[in-house]
């Protein structure tokens, strides 16, 4: 049942640049690991020529946060590994490359999946543009719009502020609400949301690994959350704590969704075999790019485990790739792909809008979005070769 992606012609790479843009968020985003007020966005730009000489430019967004708070990856580290290792190694020998070459050429380099994904996605965008093919078509998308959820951070103004934010997002039409929780901000706010918005509101929580599976107070809170009719409980324990997830998932009725724990299809297979999760959140950056995301999807589908597309506060560049992935078979749950105005006053690209709770899948060649020229005017560009 594993779907290999159709072959694409390689491109002759002429230049690779790192492009940095600072993007203030419309409101702070607080998770159990910290508070963000802006994203220091790192993009990879690949310039190249198709086999008929057509010049193309491909874009990939690196989803690392500025500090290693979500995982070990962070933006300056990603820039360094792209500059000193991933890009020179990929282009060593021949500059004619496609995403199919990445396994062979970069397979001996460990980790740095978010950096790797940004490079893979930029190259894929360039190849697809050279072939005049939309990413969604290439992936075999089965829908032209994807159901959108929204991830709500831990508010500065407590439960009242949370209720107000959620009411606003439901009014806008978001199809499900994900609430960030941490020890001390969990059962009380989620109970109030349930009471305020009723059982018809699709509600889920994400702990970003903040709970300790051996702390009785933490377990009591998770047990209580488990009784609140949530769609899922995302990553309660540490990324490496598969056995803790399995131990408690077995007695909870709310499915556990793993995010930080799943880096590749083998991790997904192990987690499923152990009973550590009932749902998997797939993020392109966390897993190293499109090829691995598709492999995880297929492994989960074969095991009857639902998947959905997560988000990392992307600009329109990363969001375009997420939306195309979320349009493929198997991504049936609402994604953390919210509309541009949930994040930015002005997106880096033509914005994504929420229409009847959905985002339209881009139809143009490649990812179907490019950065606005005026947004790039203030960008810091570091040429890596060219
Ligand atoms: O892109 O809407 C979004 C954010 C979704 O909550 C979200 N992502 O663990 O799933 C997650 C978090 C990580 C965000 S940290 C930058
Ligand atoms: Mg998460």
For 241, 263, 288, 356, the CA distances from 282, given in Å and listed in that order, are: 18, 9, 11, 24
Q: Give CA angle at 224 (218, 226), nearest 5°.
A: 105
Q: Residue 363: is it exposed, middle or buried by C-beta count within 10 angstroms (0-12/13-18/19+)?
A: exposed
Q: What is the largest CA-CA distance in the chain?
A: 65
Could you tell me the fold of the domain covering 11-132+373-385? Enolase-like; domain 1 (3.30.390)
Report the separation in Å between the CA atom of 151 and the middle of ligand 1, taken as the mean of its atom positions.
7
Do residues 277 and 252 lie in contact, with contact meaning Cβ atoms separated by under 8 Å? Answer: no
CATH number of this structure's domain 137-360: 3.20.20.120
C-alpha radius of gyration, the chain, whole number: 20
* 273 Cβ contact partners less than 8 Å away, ≥ 6 residues apart: none
- Cα–Cα dist 263/285, whole Å: 9
> What residues are annotated to the active site?
180, 283
Contact 307, 331 (CB under 8 A): yes
Return per-residue pLDDT of the chain as tens, 386 residues: 445 889 999 999 999 999 999 999 999 999 999 999 999 999 999 999 998 889 999 999 999 999 999 999 999 999 999 999 999 999 998 999 999 999 999 999 999 999 999 999 999 999 999 999 999 999 999 999 999 999 999 999 999 999 999 999 999 999 999 999 999 999 999 999 999 999 999 999 999 999 999 999 999 999 999 999 999 999 999 999 999 999 999 999 999 999 999 999 999 999 999 999 999 999 999 999 999 999 999 999 999 999 999 999 999 999 999 999 999 999 999 999 999 999 999 999 999 999 999 999 999 999 999 999 999 998 999 999 85
256 CA → ligand 2 middle, Å? 11
Give the ligand at the shortest distance from the Cα of 233.
Answer: 2
What tokens does 67 get? 């500090």
Question: What are the sequence ranges of the domains in the chain?
Answer: 11-132+373-385, 137-360
* Most informative mutation of 34, 149, 310 for ligand 1 (most atoms within 8 A of CB): 310
N- to C-terminal Cα separation, the chain: 41
Ligand 1 atom at minimum distance from 39 CA: 16
183 within 8 A of 211, measured Cβ to Cβ:
yes
Which residue's CA is the closest to the ligand 1 atom numbered 12? 312
């Amino acid at each position: 049942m594993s779907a290999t992606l159709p072959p694409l012609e390689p491109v002759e790479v002429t230049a690779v640049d790192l492009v940095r843009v600072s993007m203030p968020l419309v409101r702070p985003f607080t998770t159990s690991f910290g508070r963000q007020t802006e994203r220091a966005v790192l993009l990879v730009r690949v310039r190249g020529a198709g086999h008929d000489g057509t010049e193309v430019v491909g874009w990939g967004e690196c989803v690392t946060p500025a500090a290693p708070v979500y995982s070990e990856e962070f933006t300056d580290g990603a820039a360094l590994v792209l500059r000193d290792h991933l890009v020179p190694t990929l282009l060593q020998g021949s500059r004619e490359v496609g995403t199919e070459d990445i396994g062979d050429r970069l397979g001996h380099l460990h980790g740095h999946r978010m950096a790797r994904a940004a490079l893979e996605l930029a190259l894929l965008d360039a190849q697809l543009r050279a072939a005049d093919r939309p990413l969604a078509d290439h992936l075999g998308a089965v829908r032209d719009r994807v159901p959108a959820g929204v991830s709500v951070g831990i508010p500065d103004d407590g439960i009242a502020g949370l209720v107000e934010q959620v009411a606003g997002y439901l009014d806008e039409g978001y199809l499900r609400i994900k609430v960030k929780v941490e020890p001390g901000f969990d059962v009380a706010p989620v109970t109030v949301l349930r009471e305020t918005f009723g059982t018809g509101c699709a509600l889920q929580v994400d702990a970003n690994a903040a709970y300790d599976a051996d702390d009785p107070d933490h377990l009591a809170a998770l047990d209580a959350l488990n009784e609140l009719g949530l769609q899922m409980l995302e990553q309660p324990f540490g990324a490496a704590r598969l056995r803790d997830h399995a131990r408690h998932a077995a007695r909870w009725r709310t499915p556990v969704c793993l995010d930080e724990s799943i880096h590749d299809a083998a991790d997904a297979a192990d987690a499923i075999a152990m009973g550590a999760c009932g749902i998997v959140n797939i993020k392109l950056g966390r897993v190293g790019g499109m090829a691995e995301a598709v492999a995880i999807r297929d492994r989960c589908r074969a095991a009857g485990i639902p998947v959905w597309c997560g988000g990392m506060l992307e600009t329109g560049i990363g969001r375009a790739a997420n939306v195309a992935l979320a349009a493929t078979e198997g991504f049936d749950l609402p994604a953390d792909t919210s509309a541009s105005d949930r994040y930015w006053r002005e997106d880096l690209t033509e914005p994504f809008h929420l229409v009847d709770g959905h985002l339209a899948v881009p139809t143009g060649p490649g990812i179907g979005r490019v950065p606005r020229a005026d947004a790039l005017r203030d960008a810091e560009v570091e040429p890596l070769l060219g």
